[in-house]
Amino acid sequence: MNSDHVKKAIEILERARVLITDDSDTLWTHYDNGREFRDDIDAWIGRLKLGDETVLEKLNLSFAPTSDFQEHSLSNDWAEEYLDLSAQWDQCLQKLRSG
């Protein structure tokens, strides 16, 4: 994986991570609380840093419409930011997959 594209993917995840707090409303996600969600984000970042391409599909699903990121954003007032991050993710994923 191209290191510049991996860095961009990590930046996107880090931006989303900041918006997920311990007291976030996670009712419409599969997480019990914000900490669990952030733990997954940290794990995904770690896998990206190790060059694990298998994490890309999980991330792609996580940014999809009605996914955990979108549901969390709608319940916690960062829907516009989600749309921006999701668009950036789509562009980044395309670059990661193409090399």
Number of domains in the chain: 1
More confident residue, 60 or 1: 60
Q: How do residues 37-93 score in pLDDT, each as one tens digit? A: 999 999 999 999 999 989 999 999 999 999 999 999 999 999 999 999 999 999 999
Element (H, E) at 70: helix 68-75
pLDDT of residue 55: 95
pLDDT band at 19 (very low <50, low <70, confident <90, very high): very high
Q: How many Å apart are CA 94 and CA 89, to the nearest integer?
A: 8
Pseudo-torsion of CA 67, 98, 50, 89, nearest 10°?
-30
For 87, the domain range is 3-98
pLDDT of residue 48: 96
pTM here is 0.93
pLDDT of residue 1: 76
3-state helix, strand, coil in the chain (%, to 5): 70, 0, 30
The residues near 47 (Cβ < 8 Å, ≥ 6 apart) are 54, 55
Q: How many Å apart are CA 29 and CA 18, to the nearest integer?
A: 17
Region 21-29: mean pLDDT is 94
Region 8-19: mean pLDDT is 97
Number of CB atoms found within 10 A of residue 69's CB: 27
The owner of tokens 């516009």 is: 80
Residue 57 near residue 63, CB atoms below 8 Å: no
pLDDT band at 27 (very low <50, low <70, confident <90, very high): very high
